[in-house]
Structure 1
């Protein structure tokens, strides 16, 4: 039985201390008017990753290169798309900043929304979003990917705010600072500090060479 292949993107960033996802509001059937993850059909001559990047640009106007992009999972349950038998390959993208999206193609609107405030989504995108958020939360325990949400140079407080936003939990500042700076290869001092009129200057760090965190920074509970 012939089937179509699509790509969908779970794009996450941290805005105003909240984990946010990029959503589009569909301008065409099916699920016209409903919110959904950015995505679309893969062309015959197109690589999956190239399709994901193209669809992101066409539907949202976001051209910002993802700090981190990886395949999340494949979803192919019968009936997940009323148009035909459709298998989708979902991608997870983590961005250090939130560029302003512009709706285009078959999207009526493109917006960043806090994950905690996401309305019902089209197709099976609620499941895909849950899987993407859980992947991001888990990877922050064992990998240095929290830095993918940060600018090239950041303070430990900014890094902690990423963990708090993604994990939806408050962390002890001193304990986190000790763990982050003592984990081999996680962060590296730049030799520079923040400047400003309020508070003491804070030391600036950059992402270190580690590809895995040992010991991991585990979530409580």
Structure 2
């Protein structure tokens, strides 16, 4: 289990996040908020909690991990364009990721689950944005890390590939691993995520799923469309 206590983050002179406390259990956790509410900042802060701009603590199974140990336990995927080297194929990216994270994942099996098998050997500069996104998700899953941080991973995908990736992430989580992903798609977040965290005014505004009777769309409207506010951020 990953325990986040009193996490805050600044960017320049602005406070983006303040006093975020969470328990991240194995499973798929959604991260929802309007643009500029701090979703990306939270993912970045969890990827590198020792950053001087971040305060608070992140514990792994009750202990503060050393930076090297934490880096081997976490993979952060910001966007396909930032994560992929244009001259390399998806397979080359996956094999490199497996080596760096000492993963025993089978590239072909992960690619088949994600729906990226047919594009695995194409240099990524020849891929469309949706194809790049599939490759980037495949590479991320090949790391086999305890905590997978995904920044809007489904945004460039068509409905067929959204379904492929959602199923693949579910299989990943069933291995006792945690996926934390930001999303703006509320149409299937109730069914695809075990829990959904809503950020409001720089902190946790609400948590959906996990026994909550309201749908995520209802929570979203209550927080952000009925007088709820969000701070400026990333």
> TM-score, normalised to structure 2's length?
0.28
> TM-score, normalised to structure 1's length?
0.29
- Greater RCO structure (CA 8 Å; 6+ sep): 2
Higher-Rg structure is: 1
Higher helix share: 2
